[in-house]
Amino acid sequence: MRAPKMLLQQLGWWKFIGFQITFLGALSQFFFAPALWSFWAIPFGYYHPLSEFLSSATLWTIGVIFFTTEIATILISMRAVSRTQHQKLKRWVPTLHFYYPLAALASYKGFYEILTRPFYWDKTDHGAFQPNHIHITDQDG
Which residues of the chain are modeled with pLDDT < 50? 138, 140-141
Phi-psi region of 12 (alpha: psi -120 to 50; beta: other; left: phi over 0): left
Q: What is the pLDDT of residue 141?
A: 45
Q: In whole angstroms, give the CA distance from residue 120 to residue 139.
A: 7
Q: Where are the domains of the chain?
A: 28-116
Q: What is the pLDDT of residue 62?
A: 83
Q: What is the pLDDT of residue 94?
A: 85
Angle at 26 between CA 39 and CA 23, to 5 degrees: 155
Q: In whole angstroms, give the CA distance from residue 121 to residue 93.
A: 30
Phi-psi region of 46 (alpha: psi -120 to 50; beta: other; left: phi over 0): beta
Q: What is the pLDDT of residue 137?
A: 52
Q: What is the pLDDT of residue 136?
A: 52
Per-residue DSSP letter, 91:
G
Angle at 129 between CA 126 and CA 135, to 5 degrees: 55
